[in-house]
Amino acid sequence: MKYYIPYLFLGILVSCGVPDSNNTMNRKLPETPIAAKKDTSLTTHDHTRIDPYYWMRLTDEQKASENPDQQTNEVMSYLKAENEYTEAALGHTESFQNKLYDEIIGRIKQDDESVPYFKNGYWYYTRYEEGKEYPIYCRKPESLENPEQIMLDVNQMAEGKEYYNVSGLEISPDNNILAYAEDTLSRRIYTIKFKNLETGEWLNDQLLNASAGGAWAKDNSTFFYTTKDQTTLLEDKIWRHKLGNDQKSDAMVYEEQDNTYYVGVYNSKSNDYIIIYNQSTLTSDYHILKADNPDGDFKQFTPRVTPHEYGIEHFEDKFYILTNWDATNFRLMETSTSATERTNWQEVIPHREQTLLDDIEVFKNFLVVQERSNALIQLRIINQQTGQEHYMDFEEPAYVVYSSTNVEFDTEVLRYGYSSLTTPNSTYDYNMSTKEQVLMKQQEVVGGHRPEDYQTERLFAEARDGTKVPISLVHKKGITVDPSTPLLLYGYGSYGYSMDPWFNPSRLSLLDRGFVYAIAHIRGGQEMGRQWYEDGKLLNKKNTFYDFIDCAKYLIAEQYTSAEHLYALGGSAGGLLMGAVINMAPELFHGVVAAVPWVDVVTTMLDESIPLTTGEFDEWGNPTNKEYYDYMLSYSPYDQVKEQSYPNLLVTTGLYDSQVQYWEPAKWVAKLRDMKTDQNLLLLDTDMDTGHGGSSGRFKRHKQTALIYAFLLDLEGAAIQ
């Protein structure tokens, strides 16, 4: 998808003990890696930039070659030297990292199981076994009392592989054939495979260079899937595959000509339609085909108009449409299945200035509307037969709630999920008629967790233009919150992704050591409605950085912490945020973690051969336009590195990252080393086996969590033991 943050970093938080002198700064470090300078001139709009580290960029072919050339050897040597430097700089924390790792994975229930859901005659669930990294996908026919059928044991499939991921499980309508996608390189280039669930045999069919997921036709032998452009990795073609045929004979049913769009294919909830979606930052487009007519032609839902974002959901003889047509915060409309053009749409729920219409869930007698107002999510239940409606109540000051797995139409029960900074992830069944609810499962924190031992607050910082920016905050009760308190501030602020206050059990290792954790709900997300996003993109992008800086200043002014004890964390586009704010206001932070950071903004956005670049023009701007070039250049972290002091900095990346190429953080670190005027830590950690999402498996990924925590705790002066 886009330059989004991997889930590992969405909820990272920190804490530590009584601060004293900086442990690492008192240690003698090895000689710092120095990257060679080989100036490359990059000229655009008669403006020339000199990039001394452009040479660090390798092709996939160079990385995969068994006979590496001189450039490859030089790049790999530099990355290795940086890794060795990081290991040496944090070597004294090794036992502490191991302790943190054991502590974090010790909270994970090893023999865990998801709440089963019923679909088409089977109960489906996922379980984990003690000591194993990967899920086991299972089902039982008709009753949970019946014997279990293991569809996939990913632990067996992952044996001998450094990285392994299974995604996009799709089961044929007759319940017999499972399609799934596997990635063994961490570049999100999947191979779709098929398994006969009746016999347990794998079919010979393999669909290469694919995206995860797809759609079955009702004939149980036709599968629609998406492939990628092998250079840009953009999904661009939809294909029809007949089981038993070679992929070379598959028919292409759709090709997206505009390289600013992402495309894919899926089944409607009703399973009556196969739907192709086309999505850019500003525009949506859909093509539909009855699932019982797999050899037919797809029909465009309504002519493509730019800009216009919308989503569709089929129900009986109509489609519901969630649209921003004349509605900044979206409105709900409906239309007949026989007349889907926009001129036929009829309004169901009107637009509201202060409330974002976020999502819908359709049932036979009920409509569930997910709304976002004042940075909080609400679930609105509408009885479609009587017209009566009500909102569900949630008592905590900051929380996240969402519609969970709801695959059945004819039910009065809504399954929803709930979490907060203090409450573990919980799954409820809610009767929409009686308002009764049952807790089906709450994430178990092994060793115990008492939400009442922690305190959540909801604050509003005033940005420099007078805008009130929400902050969600949590800390352990009983700690002293004052200028000596360590605080980790997390931010993202891009693509309209709202950073909701989820529970994360790994944070307990840090909260219990005295840290405060805060989320800055800065512009660029949608926490405060669609305009919140519009005010943090394109030529308004600097609002995102200013908001984060002003939230930091607010927390310092209100004596939640001080600059000597304030830390920041962001990943991917949130890594861009980290890079921008430490150029603009480095004095506010003692330490910063930039995870898989997108920092070489202008160069990347000028290069359409780089995966995903063209799909980002409506988010950041196209720098072939001078106005956007100048604006992007003014905040691009790599281009704006200057001779000044910077905070202690830990940067992480993955050699096979398809979202943010490894050379961006590598170049950034090299340039910072050359220009910064301080003696603070600057560390680069490159995972040589993975990509954007980090390690596969539920335990191994926390090795990096422990590294990050140890880095922050050590800076704060916590005892390393």
Largest CA distance in the chain: 74
Q: Can you spell out the DSSP letters for 314-336?
A: EETTEEEEEE-TT-TT-EEEEEE
Give the Cα separation of 91 and 633 in Å (integer): 37
Q: What is the spatial distance between Cα 190 and Cα 682, in angstroms, rounded to a whole number?
A: 35
Question: Using CA atoms, how far apart are residues 13 and 83, in angstroms rounded to an integer?
Answer: 24
Give the separation between CA 606 and CA 617, rounded to whole angstroms.
10
Paired tokens of 180: 């799934």
Name beta bridge partners: 361.
368
572 is catalytic: yes
Contact 238, 253 (CB under 8 A): yes
Residue 495 near residue 4 (C-beta atoms within 8 A): yes
- Tokens describing residue 195: 């398994």
Q: Which residue has the tokens 């007698």?
A: 365
Instruction: For residue 260, give the nearest of 304, 208, 322, 212 by alpha carbon.
Output: 304
Among 5, 6, 8, residue whose Cα is nearest residue 705: 8
Identify the active-site residue in 521, 565, 692, 702.
692
Give yes or no for a cis peptide into 33 (omega within 30° of 0): no
**Residue among 554, 531, 370 at smallest CA distance from 457:** 554
* Alpha carbon distance, N-terminus to C-terminus of the chain: 40
**Sheet containing 376-383: order of strands:** 356-362, 366-373, 376-383, 389-391
Please report, for residues 1, 419, 434, the alpha-carbon distance to residue 660 in angstroms, rounded to integers and kept in the order given. 11, 30, 48
Among candidate residues 172, 186, 506, 572, the one labeled active-site is 572
Around 179, how many Cα atoms within 13 Å sit in the side-chain half-sphere?
30
B/e letters for 522-555, b = 16+ CB within 10 Å, e = fewer, are bbbbbbbbbebbebbbbeebebbbbbbbbbbbbb
Catalytic residue among 236, 359, 657, 687: 657
With beta carbons less than 8 A apart as the criterion, state whether 535 and 459 touch.
Answer: no
Q: Are 133 and 158 in contact (CB under 8 A)?
A: yes
494 is catalytic: no
- Catalytic: 634? no
* Catalytic positions, written as ranges: 572, 657, 692
